[in-house]
Amino acid sequence: MGDCEKKDWKSTAHALDPISRPEIVKAVAAVKKSRVDDAIRFNVVDVEEPPKLALLSGETTRRVVSVTFQVESKAFVARVDVGSGTVLETRELEGGQQPMLTPDDCLLAESVVKDDPRFKSLLAERYGILDAEKVACDPWSVHCTGSEPFDTSKRLVQTFLYARDSEIDNAYAKPLDALPVVDLVARKLVHIGIQGSSPELGSRVEVPMSYNYHPKLLSQNSLKGCPTAPRQGATVPRPLEIIQPEGPSFTVEGQLVRWDKWTLRVGFNHREGLVLNEVRFAGELVVWRASLVEMAVPYADAEHPFQRKCAFDVGDYGLGYCANSLGLGCDCLGHIHYFDATLSDSKGDPYTVEKAVCMHEEDDGILWKHMEYRTGHAQSRRSRKLVLSFIATVVNYEYLFYWYCKQDGTLSLEIKLTGMLSTNSIPAGSQPQHGTLVAPLVNAQVHQHMFCARLDMAVGGHENSIAEVDVETALQGDENPWGNVFLKTEKVLKTEKEAQRDADASVARTWRIFNGSRTNGVSKKTMGYKLVPFVFGPAQPSLLTHPDSMVAKRGVFATKSVWVTRYREGQRWPAGDYTVQSDGREGRAVERWAEGDESIEGQDLVVYHSFGVCHVPRPEDFPVMPCESTGFMLKPDSFLVCNPSIDLPESASTMSKCNQCGA
């Protein structure tokens, strides 16, 4: 059961409100008016967040919209005052910088490939495919390594190919071994590559068999042991409903959300998707701004052309651009408040992704319990959490982002990965060196998903410090005569370079962000929150590619678990403002921000936390992948004087029943 609570989330204006349709229209009109003789292709139209100092002082009186657009092969960024409708300034992107690939760019790349006569001939001669619409062309940004047989100064998209018999057929079961590359500006096919282990052009290649997960096509599955029909009878799970007879416990006013002892503002943009602003617990600031700011997804296959297979999904495609419209009763359960997202297309026209963000409550098991064994008296409270989520489909993968606010003061981010493995063909009888056979002739390559969360911390205020906390075995001696002692060590990280750290599960490493001017009345420690890695999955390594690889140069952020810098305006994207076809200079952004090695004690701090999943595919990940999870939590550590949930009243579900007795 699901109830939809959908109100106008623009009803209360605030400086951090997402962009509106009228603002897009006004900004686009201003840019068109300033360039009446140009054929413009719009890339991004989004609101420019006010400077933090202006927000804190209440001096934000002007809404500025940033407009990224292309005129032939050149790209520009204009800043528009939407109040007056005037263009404040326009600058051209530097040489080598490419704006992100929009949904329209991805569709354009596929149409260019399918319309090319050479491609149609290739399909017929090599695969026996006579209709180009029987092929899916997955659009990927080009990870340039210096070995490309085409001009990488152009605006490029490479398209991985898959055969399919219908729109619901699982194309990833039928990968093809050719890789076309498109020049988006010229709208032409500039190169067709072939896998290194494949027969040369002109040879006929076998297309793998069908292998499906859609219920209408299960009967086509011929692989022994794979279901060939939907479940029926006793094996079908019985209904499981979420019922809230009195409605939800949250309130929504514009983008301001209040729930339990939490308050926060919900934001959304084309690049990060969901953003949390001004997060407070029990009336105190915890985080000023929290979001997912980058991803690197390198594939570990040395065979040509897979050295070019590495996407930076946030910077290359934009999580907001890839956001799903969420379905009631499956994507989210319970009494739900939805937030729409307003975006724009390549013509500059606004459009709405309805139900882009879902907010609801979930039961979270037992929050706390104790039974006094002498008397049998027990006290127990159930936990619930507020969930704010959105789902982004980035070509083949679905990324499910869940921010959780819990009643013990914990704020956490869980990312679930599902969708489709990006597969490639493999010759019959071969065993993949860099992947796993998930179906006959189908290889799923080993890869990583490296995420980076940007946490603009404000624990009890904006002047914070950070310490690394380890727990280690104590040396045996006078202070540890029995060998049972293990010690907590807390090292304050004093400068930006010192605060480039690696996670270490062997010493239970966490990082404590604290306010040195405020002391906890019980522990006598400074008021703090701790960053805890590896919460929703096993401990995982940082980036595994060689330090000299182009992946490591473009994605320096992924080589460390934690980076800490002072807050500076304009520093948000750890792999650079423009990741499409970026080089090692752009990708060093977060490292470059720390080059001054400034003090981070008692400063306005931003923590960049990198974490991820090392995915060694299994047959069980195919033909569609069950969710894999990763994430982290921010947990109060001397932020409060006691368990903040002891004031919760006793409650018991009136809907629960005993299976044996029926009571």
The token duo for 150 is 């085409």
Residue carrying the six token digits 């703090």: 528
Nearest Cα to 173, choosing from 229, 130, 214? 214
Instruction: Output the six-digit token pair for 660.
Output: 């044996």
Residue 322 makes CB contacts below 8 A (sequence gap 6+) with 103, 273, 313, 392, 393, 394
Cα distance between residue 151 and residue 154, in whole Å: 6
Distance of alpha carbon 476 from its chain centroid, rounded? 45
The candidate with the shortest Cα–Cα distance to 351, out of 585, 65, 104, 124, is 104
> Do residues 296 and 575 touch, judged by C-beta distance below 8 A?
yes
Burial 503-536 (b: 16+ CB within 10 A, else e): beeebebbbbbbbeebebeeeeebbbbbbbbbbb
Residues 415, 630: Cα–Cα separation, whole Å: 5
Residue 109 phi, psi dihedral angles, 5° rounding: -60, -45
**Which H, E and C letters describe 576-617, residue by residue?**
CCCCCCCCCCHHHHHHHHCCCCCECCCECEEEEEEEEEEECC
The whole-angstrom separation of Cα 327 and Cα 405 is 22
Give dist(CA 556, CA 548) in Å, integer: 11
Catalytic residues, by residue number, are 313, 397
Cα–Cα–Cα angle for 415, 55, 601, rounded to 5 degrees: 70
Q: DSSP E strands: which ranges in 205-322? A: 251-253, 256-259, 262-269, 273-281, 284-298, 310-311
Is the bond into 305 cis (omega within 30 degrees of 0)? yes
For tokens 């005993």, name the residue. 658
